[in-house]
Amino acid sequence: MTSSHSRFGRVLVLAAACALAPVPAGAEDVGGRWGTEEREREYYPVVNVPIPKGLVVEAGAFCPLPDGRIAVGTRHGEIHILSGVDEKRPDPAYHLFATGLDEVFGLAYKDGAFYVTQSCELTRVTDTNGDGKADRFETVSDAWGYANYHEYAFGSKFDKAGNLHVALGLSNSYDSYALFRGFVLQISPDGKTRALASGLRSPGGIGYNEHGALFYAESQGPWNCSCSLKPVAPGSFQGHPASFNWYKFAPELGPVPEMPRSGSRVVVERDRVKQLSPPAVIFPYVRMGRSITGFSVNGTAGKFGPFDGQMFLGDYTLSVIMRATTEQVNGVWQGACYPFREGLSTGILNVEFTKGGSLICGGTNRGWPVRGIKPFALERLDWSGKVPFEIQRVTAESTGFKVAFTKAVDAATGGDPKAYRVSTFTHPYHRGYGGPEIERTTPTVERVTLAPDGLSASLVLSTLARGHVHEFDLGALRARDNETLLHRHAYYTLNEIPAAK
Instruction: Tell me the pLDDT band of 164, cut-offs 50, 70 and 90.
Output: very high
Instruction: Tell me the pLDDT band of 28, cut-offs 50, 70 and 90.
Output: very low
Please compute the mean of the pLDDT values over residues 278-298 and round it to a whole number. Answer: 97
What's the confidence (pLDDT) of residue 9? 40
Query: Does residue 441 contact residue 487 with C-beta atoms inside 8 Å?
Result: no
Asked if residue 296 has pLDDT above 70, the reply is yes
Asked if residue 15 has pLDDT above 80, the reply is no
3-state DSSP: the chain helix, strand, coil percent, rounded to 5? 10, 40, 50
What is the maximal distance between C-alpha atoms in the chain? 69
Instruction: Tell me the pLDDT band of 150, cut-offs 50, 70 and 90.
Output: confident
Characterize the bridge pairing of strands 292-297 and 281-283.
unpaired
What's the confidence (pLDDT) of residue 24? 44
Whole-angstrom CA distances from 389 to 44, 59, 63, 492 are 13, 32, 31, 19
Asked if residue 3 has pLDDT above 90, the reply is no
First-last CA distance in the chain: 58
* Exposed / middle / buried, residue 206 (Cβ in 10 Å: 0-12, 13-18, 19+): buried
Buried b (16+ CB within 10 A) or exposed e, 310-349: bbbbbbbbbbbbbbbbbbbbeeebbbbbbbbbbbbbbbbb
What's the confidence (pLDDT) of residue 138? 98
| Number of residues written out for the chain | 501
What's the confidence (pLDDT) of residue 173? 84
Query: Does residue 177 contact residue 183 with C-beta atoms inside 8 Å?
Result: no
Asked if residue 14 has pLDDT above 50, the reply is no
Whole-number Å distance between alpha carbons of 126 and 18? 41
CATH 2.40.50.100 fits domain 391-494? no
What's the confidence (pLDDT) of residue 83? 97
Phi, psi of 212 (to 5 degrees): 90, 5
Residue 100: count other Cβ atoms within 10 Å of its Cβ: 11
Q: Where in the chain is the domain with CATH 2.120.10.30?
A: 11-381
Asked if residue 383 has pLDDT above 90, the reply is yes
Please compute the mean of the pLDDT values over residues 286-314 and round it to a whole number. Answer: 97
What's the confidence (pLDDT) of residue 117? 98
- Quote the distance between the C-alpha of residue 145 and its chain's center: 25
Please compute the mean of the pLDDT values over residues 70-82 and round it to a whole number. Answer: 97
> What is the average pLDDT score of the chain?
93
Please compute the mean of the pLDDT values over residues 27-35 and round it to a whole number. Answer: 48
Residue scoring higher pLDDT (449 or 14): 449
Whole-angstrom CA distances from 415 to 314, 361, 410, 470, 476 are 34, 38, 8, 20, 11
Q: Which residues contact 54 (CB under 8 A, 6 or more apart)?
A: none
Instruction: Tell me the pLDDT band of 23, cut-offs 50, 70 and 90.
Output: very low
- Count CA atoms closer than 13 A to 107's CA, side-chain side: 30
Secondary structure of residue 196 in the 3-state scheme: strand
Instruction: Tell me the pLDDT band of 20, cut-offs 50, 70 and 90.
Output: very low
Whole-angstrom CA distances from 371 to 42, 330, 347 are 21, 39, 7
- Count CA atoms closer than 13 A to 368's CA, side-chain side: 24
- Quote the distance between the C-alpha of residue 95 and its chain's center: 29
Query: Does residue 278 contact residue 266 with C-beta atoms inside 8 Å?
Result: yes
Please compute the mean of the pLDDT values over residues 178-190 and round it to a whole number. Answer: 97
Q: Which residues contact 105 (CB under 8 A, 6 or more apart)?
A: 60, 61, 73, 117, 118, 152, 153, 154, 155, 205, 294, 349, 350
Whole-number Å distance between alpha carbons of 490 and 390? 10
What's the confidence (pLDDT) of residue 32? 42
- Count CA atoms closer than 13 A to 17's CA, side-chain side: 20
Query: Does residue 387 contact residue 307 with C-beta atoms inside 8 Å?
Result: no
Q: Model confidence over 236-251: pLDDT tens digits?
A: 999 999 999 999 999 9
Buried b (16+ CB within 10 A) or exposed e, 358-378: bbbbbbbbbbbebbbebebbb
Please compute the mean of the pLDDT values over residues 89-117 and round it to a whole number. Answer: 97
3-state secondary structure 392-405: EEEEEECCEEEEEE
Please compute the mean of the pLDDT values over residues 459-477 and round it to a whole number. Answer: 98
Whole-number Å distance between alpha carbons of 48 and 279? 34
Whole-number Å distance between alpha carbons of 208 and 313? 12
Asked if residue 223 has pLDDT above 60, the reply is yes
What's the confidence (pLDDT) of residue 33? 56
Phi, psi of 108 (to 5 degrees): -130, 165
What's the confidence (pLDDT) of residue 34? 59
Instruction: Tell me the pLDDT band of 423, cut-offs 50, 70 and 90.
Output: very high
Q: Where in the chain is the domain with CATH 2.60.40.1220?
A: 391-494
- Quote the distance between the C-alpha of residue 139 and its chain's center: 28
Asked if residue 279 has pLDDT above 60, the reply is yes
Secondary structure of residue 210 in the 3-state scheme: coil
Cα-trace Rg, the chain: 22
Whole-number Å distance between alpha carbons of 295 and 333? 17
Strands of 106-110's sheet, edge to edge? 106-110, 113-117, 122-126, 136-141
- pTM score of the predicted model: 0.93
CATH of domain 11-381: 2.120.10.30
